[in-house]
Amino acid sequence: MEGEKDACMVPDMIFYLLRMGAHRGPIRVTTGELADGIGVSQQTASRKLITLERNGSIERTDGKVMLTKKAVAEIQEFVSEVLESLKGMGTRFEGEAIAGLGQGAFFVSQKKYLLSFGSKLGFKPFPGTLNVKIGEGDIEKRILLREQPPITVESFTDGKKRFGKIDCYPCVINGLPGAVIFPEMSGHGLQVIEVISPFNLRKKLALIDGSKVNVEIA
């Protein structure tokens, strides 16, 4: 209904703008793109933008949109409340094995990484990572996971090259132990997570590209 208060519908627009990077700076986006992104009509998207601008959640200039500090603070508060309510519950991703970039084996097998993995995770990983493509519906879970404190393998240099830190979350993948890792220098988008394990997961679990994979984080 036109003129009806729709504050309860505002978060979908805020989270979409967050995914697009509007918290980092102004982004150029049309109401049509926003409407498609959150699954509403262009008229509804325009109305939502007006509501957000009036309550101080966004700023609009020259066709660009940016989330304000107020909006970012509210998002952070919301995420904190969600994480607090989910304490004691695990995070589960369902996805499929996909081909990687061919760099996992080189990085994982670095001696200093191996020593840190052994001392912090309790296992020496197989030289390589399994890349798992998760569904779009699991992206928010991935974002929430990153708000939880990780086990961090620190960065180092070998005199010529810098190797970035790696955040790790112990997991179980199709029944086998491992860890989801988030390398500082990653070329993957939000729909791909990397998993290491003491086992060659593709061989042990008979995985091929497209095989279904369940990743559970305690």
* Structural domain of 13: 7-84
Q: What is the pLDDT of residue 166?
A: 92
Q: Is residue 58 part of a domain?
A: yes
Closest CA to 183 of 213, 160, 153, 142: 153
Q: Is residue 1 part of a domain?
A: no
Last residue of a domain, one of 32, 62, 84: 84
Q: Is pLDDT above 90 for 172?
A: yes
Q: What is the pLDDT of residue 4?
A: 37
CATH of the domain at 167: 2.40.30.30
Q: What is the pLDDT of residue 87?
A: 54
**Which tokens belong to 1?**
């209904």
Last residue of a domain, one of 84, 111, 130: 84
Task: Indicate whether 62 and 106 sit together in one domain.
Answer: no
Q: What is the pLDDT of residue 1?
A: 34
Task: Indicate whether 71 and 43 sit together in one domain.
Answer: yes
Q: What is the pLDDT of residue 10?
A: 45
Task: Indicate whether 105 and 31 sit together in one domain.
Answer: no
Task: Indicate whether 19 and 76 sit together in one domain.
Answer: yes
Q: Is pLDDT above 80 for 89?
A: no
Q: Read off the pLDDT of residues 177-205 as tens digits, 9 standing for 90 and up.
A: 999 999 887 777 889 999 999 999 999 99
Task: Indicate whether 208 and 112 sit together in one domain.
Answer: yes
Element (H, E) at 71: helix 69-85
Q: Is residue 131 part of a domain?
A: yes
**Which tokens belong to 185?**
């220098």
Task: Indicate whether 77 and 120 sit together in one domain.
Answer: no
Q: Read off the pLDDT of residues 133-145 as tens digits, 9 standing for 90 and up.
A: 999 889 888 988 8
Q: Is pLDDT above 80 for 93?
A: yes
Q: What is the pLDDT of residue 7?
A: 38
Q: What is the pLDDT of residue 206?
A: 94
Q: Read off the pLDDT of residues 100-155 as tens digits, 9 standing for 90 and up.
A: 766 767 788 888 888 889 899 998 899 889 999 999 889 888 988 888 899 999 98
Q: Read off the pLDDT of residues 31-88 as tens digits, 9 standing for 90 and up.
A: 998 888 888 899 988 998 999 999 999 999 888 999 999 888 888 777 666 656 555 4
Total structural domains within the chain = 2
Task: Indicate whether 113 and 202 sit together in one domain.
Answer: yes
Task: Indicate whether 40 and 131 sit together in one domain.
Answer: no
DSSP per position, 130-156: EEEEEPGGGHHHHHHHHTSPPEEEPPE
b/e sequence 20-53, b meaning 16+ C-beta within 10 Å:
bebbeebeebebeebbebbebeeebbebbbebbe
Confidence of residue 11 (pLDDT cuts 50, 70, 90): low
Higher pLDDT: 189 or 2? It is 189
Last residue of a domain, one of 35, 50, 84: 84
Task: Indicate whether 135 and 201 sit together in one domain.
Answer: yes
Q: Read off the pLDDT of residues 154-168 as tens digits, 9 standing for 90 and up.
A: 988 887 888 889 999
Q: What is the pLDDT of residue 176?
A: 92
Q: What is the DSSP letter of 8?
A: G
